């Protein structure tokens, strides 16, 4: 019987430099060469639009991710992720690596914020050592930029905007002073670890779901993907260890969205080799055998580049002339 499975594989952290600097495996090379390409926004915005979640001032990442983290996101929420700012001459840039905190250390910092801002109707939550949220009593007029969009860059053009923007610039300065004075940061620096000297505010909004999507199966450990699935009555399961593991469990036809863990900005070659061996090569084989009808790879860096390939596409023997430097030209 002909398969009707459509597997969509979202790969966050697939920045242009990863393809440029790495040896791309033969399975990924084949899939991209035969695929039809489309381009969209960043990964978080793409996930929200996949579930028909309307953009508010931002794509409302925070309330859905908080739901996926087991919180009850009533009211207005912001992502408030811990970051390290690095001084570059006369400006600050966001470090490409996030601080390596333990959950109990994150909770110490969040507790300090909550004591300081208790009278302002603000409540911080550390759902994970590197994933924090801020609940506000009132919705601000604020537009922000996703964390992934700012990594390694001067933060000035990406600070919160809107009629409340300047107020929030001041609040960020207040947060930075609290962090600078916190003894935990002195401990981190003594250990040679990156300090937490700021938070990045982004993805604000209220929980407003679109139409239910019970026909979509979501396979993810990612908080945003899980929260969107829960809010839209989609089938939800943990991220499988491999494509073979996924296929053994994916008994139903229809749409399957598999959200991989984000690659680090300087992803080691073994991480790409793991994806090649555990996902790209098996999925290519499934396409050839007809176990999967259609495969879409969503390579998500600053923007999402989507590549869709069917079994019939694999029989097209045309190919594009590939310039040197890996496959970076495909996601430029």
The pLDDT assigned to 17 comes to 65
The pLDDT assigned to 267 comes to 67
Reply yes or no on domain 5-53+212-331 having CATH 3.40.1350.10: no
H or E element, residue 104: helix 103-116
**pLDDT by position in tens, the chain (length 332):** 467 899 999 999 887 667 766 677 899 989 998 998 888 778 899 999 999 999 999 999 999 999 999 999 999 999 999 999 988 777 889 887 778 889 999 999 999 999 999 999 999 999 999 999 999 989 999 999 999 889 889 999 999 999 999 999 999 999 999 999 999 998 888 888 888 999 999 999 999 998 999 999 999 999 999 999 999 999 999 999 999 999 999 977 789 999 999 887 666 788 889 999 999 999 999 999 999 999 999 999 888 999 999 999 988 755 454 443 455 545 55
Written as six digits, the tokens of 129 are: 């050592």
User: What tens digit of pLDDT does each residue of 128-180 get?
Assistant: 999 999 999 899 999 999 998 898 899 999 999 999 999 999 999 999 999 99
Sorted by sequence, the CB contacts under 8 Å of residue 56 that are 6+ apart come out as 204, 205, 206, 208
Sorted by sequence, the CB contacts under 8 Å of residue 94 that are 6+ apart come out as 83, 84, 85, 86, 147, 150, 151, 152, 153, 155, 200
Q: Where in the chain is the domain with CATH 3.40.720.10?
A: 5-53+212-331
H or E element, residue 229: helix 223-231
Q: Name the β-bridge partners of 81.
A: 200
Instruction: Using CB atoms within 10 Å of the CB of residue 293, give its burial: 0 to 12 exposed, 13 to 18 middle, 19+ buried.
Output: middle
The pLDDT assigned to 162 comes to 96
The pLDDT assigned to 193 comes to 83
Measured between alpha carbons, how far is 284 from 307 in angstroms, rounded to an integer? 13
The pLDDT assigned to 321 comes to 41
The pLDDT assigned to 315 comes to 81
β-pairing, 5-12 vs 91-94, is unpaired
The pLDDT assigned to 64 comes to 98
The pLDDT assigned to 325 comes to 46
């Amino acid at each position: 019987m002909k398969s009707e499975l459509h597997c969509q594989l979202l790969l966050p952290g697939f920045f242009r430099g990863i393809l440029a600097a790495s040896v791309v495996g033969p399975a990924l090379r084949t899939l991209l060469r035969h695929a039809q390409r489309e381009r969209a926004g960043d990964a978080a915005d793409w996930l929200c639009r996949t579930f028909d979640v309307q953009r508010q001032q931002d794509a409302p990442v925070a309330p859905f991710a908080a739901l996926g983290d087991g919180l009850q996101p009533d009211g207005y929420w912001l992502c408030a992720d811990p970051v390290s700012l690095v001084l570059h001459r006369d400006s600050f840039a966001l470090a490409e690596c996030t601080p390596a905190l333990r959950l109990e250390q994150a909770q110490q910092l969040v507790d300090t914020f909550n004591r300081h801002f208790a009278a302002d109707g603000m409540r911080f939550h550390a759902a994970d050592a590197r994933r924090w949220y801020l609940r506000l009593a009132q919705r601000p007029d604020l537009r922000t930029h996703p964390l992934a969009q700012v990594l390694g860059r001067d933060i000035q053009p990406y600070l919160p905007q809107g009629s409340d923007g300047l107020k929030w610039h001041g609040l960020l300065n207040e947060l930075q002073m609290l962090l600078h004075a916190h003894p935990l940061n002195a401990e981190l620096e003594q250990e040679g670890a990156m300090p937490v000297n700021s938070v990045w505010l982004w993805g604000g909004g209220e929980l407003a779901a679109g139409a239910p999507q019970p026909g979509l199966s979501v396979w993810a450990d990612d908080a945003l993907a899980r929260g969107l699935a829960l809010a839209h009555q989609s089938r939800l399961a943990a991220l499988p260890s491999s494509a073979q593991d996924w296929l053994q469990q994916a008994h139903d036809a229809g749409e399957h969205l598999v959200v991989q863990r984000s690659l680090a900005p300087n992803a080691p070659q073994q991480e790409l080799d793991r994806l090649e061996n555990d996902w790209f090569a098996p999925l290519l084989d499934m396409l050839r055998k007809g176990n999967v009808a259609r495969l879409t790879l969503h390579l998500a860096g600053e923007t999402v580049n989507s590549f869709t390939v069917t079994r019939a596409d694999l029989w097209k023997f045309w190919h594009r002339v590939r310039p040197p430097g890996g496959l970076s030209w495909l996601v430029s």
